[in-house]
Amino acid sequence: MAKATEIEENNDFEMGNPYYCKECKRNHTKGKIYKEHLNFAKFENGDDENNLDENIKLNNDDYDDEVELIEAFNENDNQENKIEVENQLEDDLDLDREVDPNIGESLKECINAVKKLPGVGEATLNKLIKAGFSSLESIAFTPPKIIQEESGLGEKTTEKLIKSSMEQLHIGFKSAEDVWEHRKNIARITTGSQELDDSLGGGVETGSVIEFFGEFRTGKTQIMHQLCVNVQLSEENGGLEGNALYIDTEGTFRPERIIQMAEGLDMDHKKVLKNIIFGRAYNSDHQILLIKEAANLIKERNIKLIVVDSLIGHFRSEYIGRGTLANRQQTINSHLHDLLRLCDIYSDLAVVVTNQVQAKPDVFYGNPLQAAGGNIVAHGSTIRVYLRKGKGEQRIAKIVDAPHLPEADAIFSITENGISD
């Protein structure tokens, strides 16, 4: 396997290959990034914003241990030690071990589903789990080449595994009845503003990718924060009693803001923070990888909301110049389809993304601003909300291109306690 640093120089990063992380100044490989970057936000009130990175720490000892183990494994070229570490890793994969009871139960459930796939014996199961494929979703989603490389399984076996995982998850053709069943499961998360909820037909709906786009400071990030809190509310209060996964590409996630919002709703802010799984994406490849790995976490961690803030930022800054446009659009398209596929599988999962606007120079009448990313994003997301500034705290939202939703403007405010009317 080539060294990640070499890969960076050669500039031919491929999914599943070692990935050199500039922030950590070390290599990551598939299945391991999460343990390091996808930390729980653990933050005490009144902490300095500059200490954010230090304060967002893993609060799950289990994962801490795993990181250490993997680090040792990566850094150790000595064969004897390697075997020792490998054995320890195997012990750690003991399905009956004591882990956080909540995580343990759902992880076991996921692994059991993999175990039941035709042709999966003890050896195959071990290889899969060790390579980080502990759920049907992760197998169905990952390109076969990566599964083969990571797990050491053969081409035929991998093909069969993917096919039967997809069947189990009902990916592919389905009857209208199944589609109806899926639609019936759609639920909604309140935004905190009645008016905005009404314009969305009752709140942010699950089973769709919803895009909030607008100029800077129009409240996109604030809405994302609020949804992460609100998704945890009980159903009668407008939530889904679920957890949130926050992919931050701009470094604007603020736990202290979450605390304010949670307190505004009389919720225990410690619990609220613990239920938001946070991942900082440092570049577009990293962002794509995080979403691919998210497939593994949704069931395990009862995730009901995925936030990507912002969807296009990295792509915009990395693919510069006309010549790269086709390539960029193709990559964004495939990234969006990863998100859409998650919604297809989990009817009780909402995916919300933000998008910047860019000036469209050839528009002389009407609004010259349009969402970045062009048609691809427009066609990929199911519901699009355009945000603009009003007076003071007020913001105005308009639903774009959704024939089943009202055209009227919704006015909401960004207050100390978060989003409200």
Q: Which residues bind Mg ion (CB under 5 A)?
A: 220-221, 252
Tell me the C-alpha distance between 384 and 213, whole Å. Answer: 7
Tell me the C-alpha distance between 53 and 50, whole Å. Answer: 8
88 binds, among Mg ion, ligand GTP, none (CB under 5 to 8 A by kind): none
Closest CA to 290 of 265, 269, 311: 311
106 binds, among Mg ion, ligand GTP, none (CB under 5 to 8 A by kind): none
Q: Measured from the CB of residue 372, what is the shortest distance to Mg ion in angstroms?
A: 13
Cβ-contact 209, 353 below 8 angstroms: yes
Q: Measured from the CB of residue 247, what is the shortest distance to Mg ion in angstroms?
A: 13
Nearer to ligand GTP, 214 or 242 (CB): 214
Helix (H), strand (E) counts: the chain:
19, 16
Nearer to ligand GTP, 298 or 371 (CB): 371
Chain residues in the site for ligand GTP (CB under 6 A): 214, 216-222, 252, 257, 356, 414-416
Ranked by CB distance to Mg ion, the top (closest) residue is 221
Nearer to ligand GTP, 57 or 217 (CB): 217
Q: Measured from the CB of residue 393, what is the shortest distance to ligand GTP in angstroms?
A: 6
Tell me the C-alpha distance between 191 and 211, whole Å. Answer: 14
Nearer to ligand GTP, 219 or 279 (CB): 219
Compute and round to an integer the Cα radius of gyration of the chain: 22
Judged by phi (left if over 0) then psi (alpha if -120 to 50, else beta), residue 203 lies in left
Helix (H) / strand (E) element for 28: namely strand 26-28
Tell me the C-alpha distance between 201 and 180, whole Å. Answer: 18
127 binds, among Mg ion, ligand GTP, none (CB under 5 to 8 A by kind): none
SS3 267: coil
Nearer to Mg ion, 221 or 284 (CB): 221
239 binds, among ligand GTP, Mg ion, none (CB under 5 to 8 A by kind): none
Nearer to ligand GTP, 231 or 397 (CB): 397
Q: Measured from the CB of residue 414, what is the shortest distance to ligand GTP in angstroms?
A: 4
Nearer to ligand GTP, 269 or 299 (CB): 269
| Contacts of residue 360, Cβ cutoff 8 Å, sequence gap at least 6 | 368, 369, 370
Nearer to Mg ion, 221 or 283 (CB): 221
Q: Measured from the CB of residue 386, what is the shortest distance to ligand GTP in angstroms?
A: 12
Cα torsion through 134, 138, 140, 145, rounded to 10: -100
Q: What type of residue is 353?
A: V
Q: Measured from the CB of residue 250, what is the shortest distance to ligand GTP in angstroms?
A: 6
Q: Measured from the CB of residue 238, what is the shortest distance to ligand GTP in angstroms?
A: 20
217 binds, among Mg ion, ligand GTP, none (CB under 5 to 8 A by kind): ligand GTP
216 binds, among ligand GTP, Mg ion, none (CB under 5 to 8 A by kind): ligand GTP
Q: Measured from the CB of residue 358, what is the shortest distance to ligand GTP in angstroms?
A: 12
380 binds, among ligand GTP, Mg ion, none (CB under 5 to 8 A by kind): none
Closest CA to 35 of 91, 74, 82, 87: 74
Tell me the C-alpha distance between 384 and 103, whole Å. Answer: 34
Tell me the C-alpha distance between 404 and 322, whole Å. Answer: 36
Angle at 361 between CA 358 and CA 366, to 5 degrees: 85
